[in-house]
């Protein structure tokens, strides 16, 4: 620890090295070591790095056929770097011997082994855990011994085999709480559906080490009766088998995240990113067992409300839960258990008490149980995907928000400039009263999304991240400005962007709404536009019309449409290779003017009919 490294003249990594210049790297290692053994590195997790620096004695160049002069001289120094997870550390001793000889296929192994002239083994332990650091030091000591006996005799001289271990601590990186309230107000659309938070469950309350009361104390508190028989069974709380029940520390508060229909966004979490549950109460005692003794109070569960449709994930990927239904909740951190109480019994009464109690503990090592257990701290990523049956998509200014306002009670912002809508607006569509009571209840939720433009997948306009909010929809409604210069092209642009985000979106049933037919230029070409739109696409539904449940699970672990599993990557790629014409054609094309209320009922009929089909 802390011994400056005897470093050889550094050279390039060589044919078997890691491909970056040695000098700077070894300089860094040098800085980490000797001078400051407890230097900090900006790493989040525990890590052990094993560096092998091997210098070869390249005696006979005929032993390395096919190696160029350059390769030959580079191969004289080989550096290998292994990052070991803390759980893998025991593997070091297993995998070390092969590394001594794994100098690539061009080198005859025997020759290579016999030509090693010196080896430097460096362990860098980056951890705040003293135990892990200690373990690594033991590992390297063990290696020194085994290397001496097994390798040094015939491979290299022991004095040429050097070990060092370096301990570094993590830097305590402060969580970026950089989103200022002003930014949140100015650009809420960038933050409303994604946030990182940290939750901590409460510690358990402490138990107590109790003494039996003296006879006089018992008499004082229980009057004459107790004086006659201080060990009378009813004096203390007992289990059904007669054993004494000793009070326990209260359970620490759990942390639960639940779906709350009253919440719309995750914005508030940007202001407060840390949530701590309370700790359990300690045993209320002055050290003497009494019938009045109470256990510590359990801390209340900390319940955090999030909008319906929030996906709760571990910061580094693992899915906790998808809170897609009202009342869904997930326990994200369990509170620490309360400590138990111990009873100290005088030697002469011990035997008798043992027959009466099951939870007497005298062993010193058990005393740790008196302290409540620690709660757990978890970093979470919350991702909102709105829950809606129908998604409205289209270019900016097509009239999506006007449509939502026309058929639901929603009051979205409407204006004749692009990107009026920055965050999804939700509206509730009532069922069809003409279909009778049964169908009337089949209401649906509509989501009006921000406008998409060509190149949205490259980040143009508002980008395309908001398309994740289409994930749960059953039906898409393409809203097109029929009075625009080239409505068919606009339609293709939106479909293309959807496909770039997630080709599955194009497999979903959809209808096309040609809007603004109150304007003459739209009304005149309504017929031809409708025919043209109906021609784009094919009849056969090529694959699943909805995300299968398996896909849904996969998609929960990924964002932005990039699936992490190889198979799904391939399938997504295949789907992107398809032409727009290879995807299903619209279920219906209707011309409307949502502003002037023309053909609204016909449009609603088509939407309801489509909803019934999917």
Binding site for Mg ion (CB under 5 A): 401, 420-421
Which phi and psi angles does 319 have, rounded to 5°? -80, 130
Which phi and psi angles does 236 have, rounded to 5°? -120, 160
- Options 29-37, 414-422, 530-538, 558-566: segment touching ligand GTP (CB under 6 A): 414-422
SS3 assignment, position 344: strand
Q: Is 558 in the site for ligand GTP (CB under 6 A)?
A: no
Residue 402 partner contact from Mg ion, ligand GTP, none using kind-dependent CB cut-offs of 5 to 8 Å: ligand GTP
Q: Between 235 and 421, name the residue whose CB sits nearer to Mg ion.
A: 421
**Are the C-beta atoms of residues 346 and 212 closer than 8 Å to each other?**
yes
User: CB-based contacts of 135: which residues, under 8 Å, 6+ apart?
Assistant: 89
Q: Between 322 and 497, name the residue whose CB sits nearer to Mg ion.
A: 497
> Angle at CA 129, nearest 5°, toward 127 and 134?
95
- Options 73-81, 168-176, 236-244, 516-524: segment touching ligand GTP (CB under 6 A): 516-524
Torsion of Cα atoms, 51 then 55 then 61 then 67, to 10°: 30
Note the helical H segments in 229-330. 268-271
Residue 593 partner contact from Mg ion, ligand GTP, none using kind-dependent CB cut-offs of 5 to 8 Å: ligand GTP
Rounded CA separation 454/339 (Å): 62
- Measured in residues, the chain has a length of 614
Q: Between 371 and 483, name the residue whose CB sits nearer to ligand GTP.
A: 483
Count Cβ atoms below 10 Å from residue 9 Cβ, excluding itself.
Answer: 8
Q: Between 250 and 412, name the residue whose CB sits nearer to ligand GTP.
A: 412
Q: Is 516 in the site for ligand GTP (CB under 6 A)?
A: yes
Strands of 319-323's sheet, edge to edge?
A: 274-276, 194-200, 377-384, 310-314, 319-323
Tokens of 401: 């928000």
Q: Is 487 in the site for ligand GTP (CB under 6 A)?
A: no
Q: Is 152 in the site for ligand GTP (CB under 6 A)?
A: no
Q: Between 246 and 594, name the residue whose CB sits nearer to ligand GTP.
A: 594
Note the helical H segments in 151-302. 181-186, 215-228, 268-271
Q: To which residue do tokens 């803390």 refer?
A: 86
CB of 478 to ligand GTP, least distance (A): 11
* 80 bridge partner residues: 52
Q: For residues 360-399, which are near ligand GTP according to CB under 6 A? A: 394, 396-399
Q: To which residue do tokens 């921000």 refer?
A: 450
Nearest Cα residue to 314 out of 378, 229, 253, 241: 378
Residue 519 partner contact from Mg ion, ligand GTP, none using kind-dependent CB cut-offs of 5 to 8 Å: ligand GTP
Four-residue CA torsion sign, 404, 406, 408, 410: positive
Q: Is 493 in the site for ligand GTP (CB under 6 A)?
A: no
Q: Is 586 in the site for ligand GTP (CB under 6 A)?
A: no
Rounded CA separation 493/464 (Å): 13
Q: Between 167 and 402, name the residue whose CB sits nearer to ligand GTP.
A: 402
Q: Is 418 in the site for ligand GTP (CB under 6 A)?
A: yes
Q: Is 524 in the site for ligand GTP (CB under 6 A)?
A: no
Per-residue binding letters, 448-467, with ligand GTP (x by CB under 6 A) = --xx----------------
Q: Is 421 in the site for ligand GTP (CB under 6 A)?
A: yes
Residue 396 partner contact from ligand GTP, Mg ion, none using kind-dependent CB cut-offs of 5 to 8 Å: ligand GTP
Nearest Cα residue to 89 out of 146, 54, 128, 46: 46
Rounded CA separation 564/472 (Å): 19
Residue 427 partner contact from Mg ion, ligand GTP, none using kind-dependent CB cut-offs of 5 to 8 Å: none
Say how many residues touch ligand GTP, by CB under 6 A.
25
Q: For residues 95-124, which are near ligand GTP according to CB under 6 A? A: none
Which one of 152, 595, 604, 614 is in contact with ligand GTP (CB under 6 A)? 595
CB of 542 to ligand GTP, least distance (A): 29
Give the binding site for ligand GTP (CB under 6 A).
Answer: 394, 396-402, 414-416, 418-421, 450-451, 515-516, 518-519, 593-596
């Amino acid at each position: 620890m802390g011994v400056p490294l005897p470093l050889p003249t550094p050279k390039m990594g060589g044919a078997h090295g890691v491909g970056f210049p040695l000098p700077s790297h070894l300089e860094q290692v040098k800085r980490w070591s000797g001078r400051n053994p407890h230097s900090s590195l900006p790493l989040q997790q525990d890590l052990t790095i094993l560096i092998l620096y091997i210098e070869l004695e390249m005696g006979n160049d005929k032993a390395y056929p096919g190696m160029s002069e350059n390769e030959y001289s580079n191969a004289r120094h080989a550096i290998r770097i292994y990052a070991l997870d803390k759980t893998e550390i025991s593997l070091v001793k297993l995998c070390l011997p092969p590394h001594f000889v794994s100098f690539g296929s061009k080198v005859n192994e025997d020759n290579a082994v016999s030509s090693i002239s010196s080896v430097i083994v460096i362990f860098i332990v980056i951890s705040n855990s003293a135990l892990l650091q200690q373990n690594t030091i033991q590992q390297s000591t063990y290696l020194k011994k085994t290397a001496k006996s097994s390798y040094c005799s015939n491979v290299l001289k022991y004095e040429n085999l050097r070990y060092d271990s370096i301990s570094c601590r993590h830097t305590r990186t402060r969580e970026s709480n950089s989103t200022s309230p002003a930014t949140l107000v100015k650009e809420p659309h960038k933050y409303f559906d994604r946030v990182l938070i940290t939750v901590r469950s409460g510690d358990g309350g402490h138990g107590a080490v109790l003494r039996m009361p003296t006879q006089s104390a018992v008499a004082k508190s229980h009057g004459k009766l107790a004086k006659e028989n201080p060990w009378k069974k009813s004096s203390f709380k007992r289990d059904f088998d007669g054993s004494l029940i000793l009070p326990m520390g209260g359970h620490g508060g759990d942390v639960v995240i639940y779906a709350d229909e009253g919440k719309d966004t995750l914005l508030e979490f940007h202001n407060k990113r840390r949530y701590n549950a309370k700790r359990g109460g300690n045993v209320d005692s002055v050290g003497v067992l009494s019938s009045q003794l109470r256990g510590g109070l359990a801390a209340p569960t900390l319940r955090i409300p999030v909008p319906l449709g929030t996906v709760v994930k571990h910061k580094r990927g693992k899915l906790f839960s998808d809170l897609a239904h009202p009342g869904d909740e997930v326990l994200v951190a369990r509170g620490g258990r309360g400590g138990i109480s111990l009873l100290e019994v005088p030697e002469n009464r011990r035997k008798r008490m043992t027959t009466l109690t099951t939870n007497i503990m005298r062993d010193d090592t058990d005393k740790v149980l008196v302290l409540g257990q620690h709660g757990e701290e978890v970093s979470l990523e919350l991702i909102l995907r709105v829950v809606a049956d129908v998604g409205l998509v289209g270019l900016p200014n097509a009239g999506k928000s006007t449509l939502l306002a026309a058929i639901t009670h929603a009051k979205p912002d409407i204006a004749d400039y692009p990107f009026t809508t920055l965050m999804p607006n939700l509206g509730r569509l009532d069922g069809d009263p003409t279909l009778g009571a049964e169908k009337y209840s089949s209401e649906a939720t509509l989501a009006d999304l921000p406008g998409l433009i060509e190149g949205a997948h490259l980040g143009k306009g508002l980008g395309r991240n908001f398309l994740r909010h289409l994930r749960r929809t059953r039906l898409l409604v393409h809203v097109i400005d029929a009075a625009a210069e080239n409505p068919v092209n606009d339609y293709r642009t939106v479909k293309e962007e959807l496909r770039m985000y997630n080709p599955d979106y194009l497999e979903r049933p959809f209808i096309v709404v040609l809007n603004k037919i109150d304007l003459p230029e739209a009304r005149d070409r309504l017929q031809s536009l409708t025919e043209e739109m109906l021609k784009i696409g094919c009849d056969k539904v090529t694959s699943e019309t909805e995300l299968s449940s398996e896909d849904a699970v996969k998609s929960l672990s990924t964002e932005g449409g990039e699936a992490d599993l190889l198979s799904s990557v391939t399938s997504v790629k295949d789907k992107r290779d398809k032409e727009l014409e290879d995807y299903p054609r619209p279920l219906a094309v209707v011309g409307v003017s949502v502003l002037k209320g023309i053909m609204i009922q016909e449009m609603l009929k088509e939407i309801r009919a489509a909803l019934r089909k999917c």
